[in-house]
């Protein structure tokens, strides 16, 4: 996947990582960048500030019809999508006793949105024999997040779906990447740790990167066609430990969860 000359769509791009991804895509030479968010005014602000050919589209990623409309408007203006960045997400806290509505909201936004994106863009990509899906998921997609069962489960489902797509369609010219950051200086992180002491513990054990740092790592990973794009020191090591010795990994996570060093 080459960013230069591509048509790229970014959801959740009104702020945070999505905004940085849209900006860096333009700087990397994308032919067109579509800035999408449920916050229409925010998407418009980001698009208008980017030097290049842009389009702002209001999209609710939990609504398949809205995602299809986003892709249709992109094709009408710029042609087929080369890179679809499923970046929109939200934190849903709670444990096994979280409400059904909370579980559904977490799954719709953090997992089913990737399914809807694939349905909208994969047929044309497969016909062309090229295309890339970049899914912003979070490190908890291969690890876990304290105090946020719906969020963790949805993110792990998103990773499983991305891996399925890579296995099924990677031989037909389709690239798939999971962006797996930990703490990033975004409004979503600030709101999450303010409302949840358990998530705040994870932030204390992670360096906090800027959205631009994460976006640069993401685009490098896309061009290298990497499946898992880790952005923070220690994430990959923890993932390997989880695979090699799940009991030891659980014990280490429990220690962090209890506040022990």
Annotated catalytic residues are: 151
Bridge partners of 176, per DSSP, are 133
Q: Where are the beta strands (DSSP E) in the chain?
A: 7-10, 32-37, 54-58, 83-86, 131-136, 174-180, 228-230
- What distance in Å separates the CA atoms of residue 109 and residue 101, rounded to the nearest whole number? 12
| Edge-to-edge strand list for the sheet holding 228-230 | 54-58, 32-37, 7-10, 83-86, 131-136, 174-180, 228-230
The two three-digit tokens of residue 54, written as one number: 């842009």
Q: Please name the residue that has the structure tokens 């299809």.
A: 68
Distance separating alpha carbons of residues 164 and 171, to the nearest angstrom: 12
């Amino acid at each position: 996947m080459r960013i230069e000359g591509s048509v790229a769509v970014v959801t959740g791009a009104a702020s945070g990582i999505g905004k940085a991804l849209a900006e860096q895509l333009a700087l990397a030479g994308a032919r067109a960048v579509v800035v999408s968010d449920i916050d229409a005014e925010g998407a418009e602000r980001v698009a208008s500030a980017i030097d290049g050919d842009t389009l702002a589209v209001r999209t609710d990623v939990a609504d398949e019809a809205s995602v299809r409309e986003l892709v249709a408007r992109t094709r009408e203006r710029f042609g087929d999508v080369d890179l679809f960045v499923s970046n929109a997400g939200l934190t849903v806290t709670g444990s096994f006793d979280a409400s059904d509505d909370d579980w559904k909201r977490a799954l719709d936004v953090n997992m089913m949105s990737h399914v809807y994106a694939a349905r909208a863009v994969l047929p044309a990509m497969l016909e062309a024999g090229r295309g890339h899906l970049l899914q912003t998921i979070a490190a908890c997609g291969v690890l876990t997040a304290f105090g946020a069962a719906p969020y963790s489960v949805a993110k792990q489902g998103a990773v499983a779906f991305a891996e399925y797509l890579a296995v099924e369609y990677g031989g037909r010219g389709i690239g798939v990447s999971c962006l797996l950051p930990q703490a990033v200086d975004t409004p979503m992180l600030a709101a999450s740790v303010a409302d949840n002491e358990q998530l705040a513990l994870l932030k204390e054990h992670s360096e906090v990167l800027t959205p631009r740092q994460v976006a640069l790592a993401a685009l490098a990973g896309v061009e290298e066609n990497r499946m898992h794009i880790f952005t923070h020191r220690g994430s990959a090591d923890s993932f390997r430990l989880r695979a090699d010795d799940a009991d030891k990994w659980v014990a280490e996570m429990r220690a962090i969860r209890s506040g022990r060093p």
